[in-house]
Amino acid sequence: MRRVVVTGLGVLSPLGYGVKANWYALASGQSGLSKITTFDTTDFTSRVAGYIPKGTGEGQFNPDEVLSPKEQRHVDPFILYGMAAGSQAMQDANWLPESEEEKNRAGVYFGSGVGGLQGIVDGGYLIQKSGPRRMSPFTIPSILINLIGGHLSIKYGLQGPNIACATACATGAHAIGEATRLIREGRADVMLAGSSESAICPVGIAGFAQMRALSTHFNETPQKASRPWDKTRDGFVMAEGAGALLLEEYEHAKARGAKIYGEVIGYGITADAHHFTAPGGTGAKRAIEQALNEAGISPDQVDYINAHGTSTPMGDMVEFKAVKEIFGDTKVAMSSTKSMTGHMLGAAGSVEAVYTLLAMQNNLMPPTINLDNPEEETQGFNLVPNKAQEKRIDIALSNSFGFGGTNATLLFKKVSE
């Protein structure tokens, strides 16, 4: 079977722009969350969020580095972020297709959970206020989810498969898993895979708040608001971000002497078939089992799990129980980096794949911060509370679960040769 390895990483999140800034914050257990500053939150129950730091300083995102001011006007921020993450991954991998054949064998699989939400809202306002003739011709291409992939293909000449997925908070993991399959089955040699999200806008916040999904009791202490498995957790904190991996067929990567972060050895995909927003059933457990089985890995071989762990009262424990049933009292430890980033929705899966690979590379497990009073049921299980822990990590797993009851698990392994 064709093996698939990761040779490039790209990430922007509330913890910063780029791998270096993100890893520094993860290793030192810093929160990237703050009060919502981009609109008036007076009547909102949840007033905290995670913004990508913007500016020209170190670890800050400067959009002008990715697109000209003219081009920026024609894309929603989720496309801009996706392009930024994708570009980072391409640069990190130090690879560009040159021949026509190489271009035809390289593609993009890039998704988003909700796409250009604010752009749709703005279009709605404009058409009511000024009529259909005032609608910008860029409205539609600025909100379409697959346009991240479209723009990246144009920028880098990636002429192979070009697909997007939209599986809510599992989007990033699905994009990476599906892109891996395309390389395995021989449709491409290289795939740029990832996801992006920018939904911190009034409709996004109010919409999730009305589902009672968001944290509302930590509005004055935003950095305490995301607290997976802690007894006082009360919902997730919405964040923006984007992550990308350059996936490459192993021989292709080896032939050009690429640096290899790890191999994608397993991928689990299931549905709860239970409820359209509430987690339940056996979906999470089966996704993890599928990923392990595909790779021929037993639970006691897994060193680290990067949890979905969004800090919702129900979701955290459903995931914990699934993990506990499979892994029991093995050496595995699990942390939720969402305690620091908040929940980047569709971007979470790809950003956390980057984090999982970095944890493996550095043999360091980022902590679950704000874990002051863990749920009784989690006693005895290492959730990496509050401080990063050193550990040799050869095999690591990343979970992503989405509305609609869709689940994806990615399993990575260190490549030793």
CB of 143 to other proteins, least distance (A): 14
Residue (69 or 257) nearer to other proteins, CB? 69
Q: Which amino acid is it at 288?
A: I
Task: Yes or no: say if 237 and 13 are a contact pair by the CB < 8 Å rule.
Answer: no
The residues in 123-152 that bind other proteins, with binding defined as CB under 8 A, are 133-134, 136-138, 141
Residue (142 or 310) nearer to other proteins, CB? 142
Instruction: Using only the alpha carbons of the chain, give its radius of gyration.
Output: 20
Q: Residue 140 is encoded by which pair of tokens?
A: 């539609």
Is 68 one of the binding residues for other proteins (CB under 8 A)? yes
Q: Residue 336 is encoded by which pair of tokens?
A: 């939720």
Binding mask 9-48 for other proteins (x = CB under 8 A): ----------------------------------------
CB of 328 to other proteins, least distance (A): 57
User: Could you tell me the maximum CA-CA distance found in the chain, to the nearest angstrom?
Assistant: 64
Residue (128 or 416) nearer to other proteins, CB? 128
Distance separating alpha carbons of residues 295 and 266, to the nearest angstrom: 5
> Where in the sequence numbering do the catalytic residues fall?
169, 308, 343
Distance separating alpha carbons of residues 347 and 354, to the nearest angstrom: 11
Residue (38 or 62) nearer to other proteins, CB? 62
Distance separating alpha carbons of residues 411 and 305, to the nearest angstrom: 9
Residue (74 or 285) nearer to other proteins, CB? 74
CB of 256 to other proteins, least distance (A): 34
| Residue 332 burial (CB count, 10 A) | 21
Phi, psi (5° rounding) for residue 402? -130, 160
CB of 139 to other proteins, least distance (A): 10
Task: Out of 1, 64, 69, 99, name the contact with other proteins by CB under 8 A.
Answer: 69
Number of residues that bind other proteins (CB under 8 A): 10
Task: Yes or no: say if 273 and 252 are a contact pair by the CB < 8 Å rule.
Answer: no
Q: How many helices (H) and strands (E) does the chain have?
A: 14, 15
CB of 107 to other proteins, least distance (A): 24
Task: Yes or no: say if 350 and 165 are a contact pair by the CB < 8 Å rule.
Answer: no
* Residue numbers at the binding site for other proteins (CB under 8 A): 68-70, 74, 133-134, 136-138, 141
